[in-house]
Each structure stands twice: as C-alpha cells, then as structure tokens.
C-alpha cells in the first residue's frame, strides 16, 4: 500500500513538473520577444530539470527550439529592414561551420567520464551542465550591466573588422555546439562593436544568425541521434515558445525592456549558480 502511494505521489510530481515545464516554454518565448534574447539560456535547464531529458539530448533539443523560435522572431525584423544580410553572412558562415563541426565531431568525442577530482567523477553530462551554467553566469552579467552610449551607435558608419568577426563567429559557434544556447548575448555586442551596427539592427541580425547556426547544428544531431529523439516533446515545447514570442512582441510595446532585462539577468545568475552547486555538490552519484 505504501509503495503504491509513493508511486502515485511520484507520478503526480512528475506530471506537475511537466506542466511547469510547458509554462516555462512559453516564458522562454516571451523573454525572446520582450528583450530580444535571454530566453534561450533557460531552455536546457527547463528540459533537464523539468522534463528530465538527458543533458546531451537537451542541448540538441535546445538547438531546434532556439533556432526555430529565432527564425520566427527574425521574420518581422526582416520586414522592418532591421537585418543586415551582409553582416549575417560574414558572421554566420564561420559560426555555422563551427557549430556543425562541434556537434558532429567534438561532442561525440568527449568521453562519458571526463576526469575525477577526489570522490567526484565529472561525467560528460555534468561537464555539459557546468559549461552551460558558466555561460548562464556570463549571460547574466551582460544583461545586468548597463550599456552606455547606445544612442550614438546609429550615427557610426558600418565597417567590418573581418578577422575579428570571423574569430568571434567561430567561438560563438563552438559554444553553441557544446551547450545548445543561441549566444545572442555574445553576438549582439560583437555586431555593435565589430560591425558598427545600430542596436536594433544588431538584435534583428543576431536572430537570423542564431536561427541559421542552431538549426544547421541540429541537423548534425539528427544524423547521429535522430531515431532516439522525442519529437512530440520537442515540437510541443517549440510551439509554446513561438506562442511566447508573439506575446512578448506585443508586451514589448507596453513594458520597458531594459528594466525587465536586468531583473531577468539576476534570475539567470541565480539559476546558473544553482546549477553549478547542484551538479558538483548536491547530487549523489553525479549522474542524470
């Protein structure tokens, strides 16, 4: 009787976690629509902790969710003339090559047990989550910190620092391939500083770059793990994130995005620190 009660209790908890996960999927899209980024940084934690997806598969799912959502978000930006196609190509090509190579070659080559520190065994799953958490902390700092002088950016003529753009695109591509995040918080400052794009155009161009590299990176996972993917879950979460984008776009006309961005940044910082502590200290056995 007690065992049956515990089983039913566990099923109820799992069902509630899934419901929270679907609500979080909408929140991811709202964040993307509201502040032009940030939401994708929560996709992997939502998949891992709420839907109980293995971290390696979660990074693949995240590429599809982030890529599709960004593509939907980029369409109205393109219609408004807020995408620089030349910049997207110059930055996007090395980034796409890097993310595809990372998913196809580097990620499969990482051993299941990476290294051991005392009694702590750092597995491939733990390493992926720690990398992701570090990226979350970096993203949170970018969102929390005030950016000065944005009004002057539109006055600058567009120039291209090709070597730095190619290098930055490659680095962002490797990070995206490893942890499944879009990397908009890295791309947007790079486009502003290295291509002298106005902020609004940098956001639109970033969405197109994220969409292209994420979806192409996802194809590498389909080739390797296509048969083991839960397409029902993947398409459901993606659809809800897209709904969230439209809600976020509507809210962005009424709410100050800069204040929300700071608040969201603090939330992402807390989540990143929690993941690091959870993976290294709170778990018993260290596996998912």
- Residue ranges per structural domain of the chain: 2-282
Would you state the pLDDT for residue 238?
94
CA dihedral 99, 100, 106, 111 (to 10 degrees): 100
Q: Which residues of 73-105 are buried (b: 16+ CB within 10 A; e: fewer)?
A: bbeebeeeebbbeebbebbbbbbbebbbbbbbe
Strands (E), 56-158: 113-117, 120-123
Would you state the pLDDT for residue 147?
58
- pLDDT in 10s for each residue of the chain, 288 residues: 455 544 554 445 556 788 888 998 988 888 777 766 666 678 888 898 889 888 888 888 988 998 898 888 888 888 888 898 988 888 889 988 888 888 888 888 888 888 887 777 888 888 888 888 888 888 788 778 755 444 444 445 666 677 887 888 888 888 888 877 767 777 877 787 777 788 778 888 888 888 888 888 888 778 766 657 888 999 999 999 999 888 887 777 777 666 777 777 888 888 888 888 888 876 644 444
């Amino acid at each position: 009787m007690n065992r049956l009660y515990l089983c039913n209790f566990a099923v109820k908890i799992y069902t509630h976690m899934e419901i929270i996960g679907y609500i979080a999927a909408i929140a991811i899209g709202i964040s993307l629509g509201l502040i032009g980024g940030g939401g994708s940084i929560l996709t992997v934690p939502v998949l891992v902790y709420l839907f109980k997806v293995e971290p390696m598969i979660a990074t693949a799912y995240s590429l599809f969710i982030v890529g599709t959502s960004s593509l939907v978000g980029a369409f109205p930006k393109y219609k408004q003339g807020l995408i620089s196609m030349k910049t997207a190509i110059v930055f996007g090509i090395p980034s796409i090559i890097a993310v595809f190579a990372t998913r196809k070659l580097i990620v499969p080559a990482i051993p299941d047990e990476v290294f051991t520190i005392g009694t702590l065994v750092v597995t491939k799953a733990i390493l992926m989550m720690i990398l992701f958490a570090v990226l979350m902390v970096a993203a949170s700092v970018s969102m929390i910190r005030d950016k000065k002088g944005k009004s002057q950016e539109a006055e600058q003529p567009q120039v291209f620092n090709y070597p730095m753009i190619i290098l930055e695109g490659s680095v962002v591509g490797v990070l995206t391939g490893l942890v499944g995040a879009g990397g908009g918080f890295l791309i947007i400052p790079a486009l502003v500083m290295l291509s002298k794009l106005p902020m609004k155009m940098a956001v639109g161009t970033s969405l197109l770059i994220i969409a292209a590299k994420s979806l192409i990176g996802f194809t590498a996972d389909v080739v390797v793990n296509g048969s083991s993917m839960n397409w029902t879950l993947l398409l459901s979460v993606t659809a809800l994130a897209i709904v969230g984008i439209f809600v976020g776009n509507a809210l962005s006309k009424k709410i100050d995005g800069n204040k929300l961005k700071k608040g969201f940044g603090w939330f992402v910082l807390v989540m990143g620190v929690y993941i690091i502590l959870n993976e290294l200290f709170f778990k018993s056995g260290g596996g998912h």
